[in-house]
Structure 1
Amino acid sequence: MANLTKLDAFQLDVLREVGNIGAGHAATALSQLIQKNIDMRVPQVNIIPFDEIAEFVGGPEEVVVSVFLRVEGDCPGNMFFIIDLQSARNMLSELLGLEPKDEGEPLSEIEVSALREIGNILAGSYLSSLADFTKLAMQPSVPALAIDMAGALLSHGLTQLGQVGDYALTIDTLFFEGSKAVQGHFSLIPDPGSFEKLFTSLGVPFDGNY
């Protein structure tokens, strides 16, 4: 089994470039959607073991908002966009001009719809960037949105989506709009065997001996 956590700087730079292009596409799409300028960047790209994702986003008991979907095609896998609940509230306030709600107050139907659309745009933008870079066919399923503790949400989402790979490609996403920076986490969890195809298509050496 390859240890993908030991990728070198060049390999991570290639993945970061894919993430930055995806962030640029997403920023353009969101700007058009809400008629506001939005800056986004990717400060960090990591490959982490699947079972560490919940810790990566704040811990298994952290309440988060997640948009998740299944990726089919040449490089099948599962995709998540995860953001903690307070950051989601801040993002809605900044992007939509909504008054921030008190902690514990449930999100309205329009807020949930907006988060689903934002997550859909982000996931679609990153997936399109990967497909353009790799020339691999990657088709997303209809996205679903859930609000729950990170551990439960990941387990349930992956149960719904299908088989689970050993590693996740995680791309931090920073939104700069207004005075508050909001951080979200994009995770692609390729099915077993898909990481090798992904790296080979990117022109990145992959011999399984990391």
Structure 2
Amino acid sequence: MVLFEDLNEMQLDALKEIGNIGAGNAATALSKMVGKRVNMEVPLVRILPLKDVPEWLGGPEKEVLGVYLSVFGALAGHILFVMTIDDALKIMRILLGDMAPSRDQILSMDELASSAMGEIGNILSSSYLSALADFTGLHLNHSVPAIAVDMAGAIVDVVLIEISQHSDYALLIETVFVEEEDRITGYFMLIPDTGSLEIILQALGVV
């Protein structure tokens, strides 16, 4: 069985290329949503132990918005898309203008904020997942997104419980989207179940 911690340079490069394409897809999807160009900085792609994710997001007590989806089809796994509350506010203002929810509405996850972030998370996560599907030729689907606002440590703990013993590592893609004066950082994590990483690498021809 292939593990994240055992990947060689060629395998890592193949996964990073998926991250690059996924981030490009996400920028294109955002551009279509807002009706104007959203640029993307070269994404940072790395393999990270799940226990280290909260520190990467700014510390376990950092308030973040998380969107979680399970992946099924030719392989099984999990997607977690995370951004800080400040960046969530920025992206909602870009998308909804004066109709954007306030910080308090996001923190309380009222109906408007929940619906808007669910749609954003769904579109962005689908962008990365479609890159993986296109690159590998695998047929993939995902669940309806579950949304939470909490401290980074708490959100990661919930995901760890959800995935049980399937994986201790994630493919983390940090992407900065730029729209005029706004810079928005999103963290996309792909966490394949046991055996699914090997399916991805076989499809990429780098086992």
TM-score, length-normalised on structure 2? 0.86
Q: Deviations over 1:51-73 (max 9, x none)?
A: 22222212221111011011112
Once the two structures are TM-superposed, the CA of residue 14 in structure 1 deviates from its matched residue by: 2.1
1:47 is aligned to: 47
1:59, 1:8 → 2: CA distance? 29
Matches of residues 83-98 of structure 1 in structure 2 within 5 Å? Answer: 83-98=83-98
1:93, 1:27 → 2: CA distance? 16
Q: Does 1:15 align with 2:11?
A: no
1:105 is aligned to: 104
1:152 is aligned to: 154
Matches of residues 24-173 of structure 1 in structure 2 within 5 Å? Answer: 24-98=24-98, 105-107=104-106, 109-160=111-162, 164-173=166-175
Q: Does 1:185 align with 2:187?
A: yes
The answer to whether the Cα contact below 8 Å between 1:42 and 1:171 also exists between their aligned partners in 2 is no
Residues 127 and 16 of structure 1, relative CA distance in 2, 3 Å threshold: same
Residues 158 and 140 of structure 1, relative CA distance in 2, 3 Å threshold: farther
> Structure 2, unaligned stretches of length 5 or more?
none
TM-score, length-normalised on structure 1? 0.85
Identity %: 46
The answer to whether the Cα contact below 8 Å between 1:77 and 1:165 also exists between their aligned partners in 2 is no
Secondary structure, counterpart of 1:105 in structure 2: helix
1:194 is aligned to: 196
Name the structure where helix makes up a greater proportion of residues. 2
The answer to whether the Cα contact below 8 Å between 2:19 and 2:43 also exists between their aligned partners in 1 is no
Once the two structures are TM-superposed, the CA of residue 6 in structure 1 deviates from its matched residue by: 6.1
2:94, 2:112 → 1: CA distance? 15
User: How many residues are paired up?
Assistant: 204
Once the two structures are TM-superposed, the CA of residue 150 in structure 1 deviates from its matched residue by: 1.3
1:195, 1:154 → 2: CA distance? 20
Cα RMSD over matched residues? 2.5
The code of the aligned residue for 1:180 comes to: D
The answer to whether the Cα contact below 8 Å between 1:168 and 1:188 also exists between their aligned partners in 2 is yes
> Structure 1, unaligned stretches of length 5 or more?
206-210
